[in-house]
Amino acid sequence: MNYNYYIADVFTSQVFNGAQIAVFPNADGLSNEQMQLLAKELNLTETVFVFHPGSEGTTRKMRIFSPLVEIDFAGHPIIATAYVLGCCGDIKLTEAITPVVFEQNVGPIDVNISANQGKPFFVQFSRKVSSIVDRFAPTDEELAAFLSIQQSELDHKKYSPRLVSCGVPYLIVPVWSYESVRKAKFNYAAWSQSIAPQTAAQEILLFAPKTPFMDSDFNARLLGPRIGIHEDPPIGSAMPAFASYLCSFEHTRKGTHTFTVDRGDAKARRSVLNLEMDHKGQEQLALRVGGEAVMFAKGTVFLPA
């Protein structure tokens, strides 16, 4: 059996930027074992396998695999899948905005594909999330030690470190400058000697409310004991926690907020994520995440019958 796949660069409009995601637009017939082996073989952050529950309509089932395990939810694959399905004609884009539903393991996700002359150029998906925000955090001395930065670089004026979970706990740490985010290096020895492991957070979302780029409001980066010292992984899955974090501060006014978060820099596969959140002080936060994508490659896998 032959299976076509596409590789898209996500949250960017330029190749060699953003996050690379592989998408198999028609995976009907593949087994769990085959999907895991294919994801391992392609060795990208995430590989998406698309299934068609019905002969008509715009509902698709997504199965997402890292090289090691299946993932129940991820944001980058939504953008990549919508873009790929629109480009290859699996979903017809006859209107300016086409609504679709993608079923992930966590449930259905509403997606809007914006198109021009039948070609996708922007994808946005919606989620409602509940969060737990804990102000318990390691001391500034501990934070600076395991991030390899100076204590003076930590921001306590507008923001403060907090533990936020929308299912996965993140230790969110604000710093003053973009340069602090970029130069930080995770120190495992200092981490293990701090109280941080007791928080259950396995990843730190380090961010700065300043960036040298005109199209972004925040720069963010993930670090942690499971992330290589030179890695700068995709941040999409941390965005619900980040939005909930912003809403946990009194100076964040009620209403709809629109902002952008970028990851990386001009030399490190920069991504730009567009976010909208409806801050109403309610238990659930309505969040919309959008971005661009660009096609990078197309290939065919030859599997024995």
Tokens 């309610």 map to which residue? Answer: 282
Q: How far apart are CA 135 and CA 116, in angstroms?
A: 45
Q: How far apart are CA 275 and CA 259, in angstroms?
A: 5
Residue of 67, 70, 73, 62 lying closest to 25 (CA atoms): 62
Q: How far apart are CA 144 and CA 141, in angstroms?
A: 5
Element (H, E) at 182: helix 178-183
From the candidates 41, 46, 283, 292, give the one annotated as an active-site residue.
46
Burial class (CB in 10 A: 0-12, 13-18, 19+), 108: exposed
Q: For residue 221, what are the contacts with CB-CB under 8 A and spacing of at least 6?
A: 181, 182, 184, 205, 206, 207, 232, 235, 263
**Residue 46 among the catalytic residues:** yes
Tokens 């006014």 map to which residue? Answer: 253
Q: b or e along 174-191 (b: 16 or more beta carbons within 10 Å of the residue's beta carbon)?
A: bbbbbebbeebebbeebb
Q: How far apart are CA 220 and CA 124, in angstroms?
A: 20
| Token code pair at residue 212 | 């040298």
Cα 97 to the chain's mean position, in Å? 22
DSSP state for residue 84 in the 8-state scheme: H
Enzyme catalytic residues: 46
